[in-house]
Amino acid sequence: MAESLINSIARLRVIEKRLLTQEFVSRLAQAPSYEDALRLARDAGFGASLQGGSPDELEGLVSAHLDETYQIVGELMPERLAFVTRIFRMRHDLTNIKLLYKLRLLGAKPDAYELAPGGVFEGEALKEAVAKGDYSMLPKLLADTLEELDVKTYKNPDARLVSGALDSAYFELGLSSPNAFVREYFSALADFTNLIAAIRGMLPEMCLPCGEYKKDTLLAVAKAAKEAPETVPAILKTPFDGSPLKAAARAGFEEFVKTGSAASLEKARDEYLLTLAAKGKSDIDSPAPIVGFMLAREREAEVVRLILTVKRSGLPMSAVEERSVKLYG
């Protein structure tokens, strides 16, 4: 782990030159076959640390790429700021905890299920923790939430209770962070998540703790989206508020009115978060550039996996929306 953040950022400036470009992604998508696309990814250094063969070369490359990412980030981030990258990586743990908890409620064994990579906690340790109901290894907020779920699901093993409760706890964890960038990112993500849930009629149960949109506004959006979608942008419009997030949300809703699809707001969310993650790239006294680099590399893994999976399946790239192959930064 580094001691000086300024030195780490200087080193990062060199490392981030190896990030994949949107031009490369276009070439990857245009490759004539899966084999050609795989070769192109390897030649670009994607998953370069992969040693030996792999039963599934694509997943081997993705795994190697992520392992290398977390090693670099661990070396760059000063120990006093390690909590910043941990909270972002913990979203992978949350995915795994949800799966393991729901499997436990259903009485199913987790051995046949592969856990998502990239989390803070080792997979086998998570399996044991959920199986035994001993959550002491987790942050207190998550542990307390799981203990509450144990009580609620004892007589009513309803798996639908799990995701909402854990998502709320995770967002509270992010919003309580002492780091301003973490709070801003989680606040924006929670706002967009709530707005998307509102137009899908999933409020108030799925309402996450958030920053700019309060529950009364979200409920009004949910009602309008169901009864008169064309009035939603007006509900969100505040003439004296120049918030970039609200401007992005209103633009997304204007597209929603035209198309009737939540994909327009999902696109607005993705683009806003892309901008937010890249915004701190020039900082030299903030952990934001290191987090942005980690998110960019994770996004690379998602994009390369998606394109190569489509190629391997023999599907046309036209089946993939443009926003699905957009990189950070």
pLDDT in tens, 59-75: 889 999 999 999 999 99
Q: Which fold has domain 87-175?
A: V-type ATP synthase subunit C fold (1.20.1690)
Per the CB < 8 A criterion, the answer to whether 159 and 105 are in contact is yes
**Max mean pLDDT range (19-28, 156-165, 284-293):** 19-28
44-83 per-residue burial string, b: 16 or more CB within 10 A, e: under 16: bebbeebeeeeeeebbbbbbbbbebbbebbeebbbeebee
% of the chain beyond a pLDDT of 70: 93
20 φψ region: left (φ > 0), alpha (ψ -120 to 50), beta (else): beta
Give the tens place of pLDDT for each residue, 123-134.
Answer: 999 999 999 999
Q: What is the pTM of this model?
A: 0.85
CA distance 285 to 113: 41
Q: What mean pLDDT is predicted for residues 150-159?
A: 89
CA 199 to the chain's CA centroid:
21
CA 123 to the chain's CA centroid:
19
Per the CB < 8 A criterion, the answer to whether 66 and 135 are in contact is no
CA distance 204 to 215: 8
Per the CB < 8 A criterion, the answer to whether 152 and 54 are in contact is no
CA angle 164, 165, 167 (to 5 degrees): 65
Look at 216 and 307; give whichever has higher pLDDT. Answer: 307
DSSP state of 231: G
DSSP state of 228: -
- Among the listed ranges 94-98, 144-148, 256-260, 279-283, which one has the minimum average pLDDT value? 279-283
CA distance 87 to 170: 9
Residue 192's CB: how many other CB atoms inside 10 A? 24
CA distance 269 to 213: 14
Closest CA to 326 of 249, 269, 247: 269
Kindly report the CATH number that applies to the domain delimited by 5-78+287-325. 1.10.132.50
Find all residues with CB under 8 Å of 172, minimum gap 6, and list them.
141, 209
DSSP structure string for 25-60: HHHHHH-SSHHHHHHHHHHTTTTTT--S--SSHHHH
Q: What mean pLDDT is predicted for residues 116-125?
A: 92
pLDDT-derived band at 51 (thresholds 50, 70, 90) equals: low
Closest CA to 323 of 281, 280, 261: 261
Q: What mean pLDDT is predicted for residues 204-218?
A: 77
The one-letter code for the residue type at 125 is A
User: Residue 329 to residues 7, 73, 82, 293: CA-CA distances in angstroms?
Assistant: 21, 17, 22, 9
Find all residues with CB under 8 Å of 42, minimum gap 6, and list them.
48, 61
Size (the chain), residues: 329
pLDDT over 60 (residue 120): yes
The structure tokens listed for 281 are 């790239």
Closest CA to 99 of 169, 166, 148, 155: 166
Find all residues with CB under 8 Å of 233, minimum gap 6, and list them.
250, 253, 254, 257
DSSP state of 62: H
Q: What mean pLDDT is predicted for residues 83-106?
A: 95
Per the CB < 8 A criterion, the answer to whether 240 and 163 are in contact is no
**Max mean pLDDT range (131-145, 252-266, 279-293):** 131-145
Query: What local confidence, expressed as pLDDT, does residue 146 receive?
Result: 97
Per the CB < 8 A criterion, the answer to whether 324 and 266 are in contact is no
pLDDT over 60 (residue 35): yes
Mean pLDDT computed over every residue of the chain: 87
pLDDT over 80 (residue 22): yes
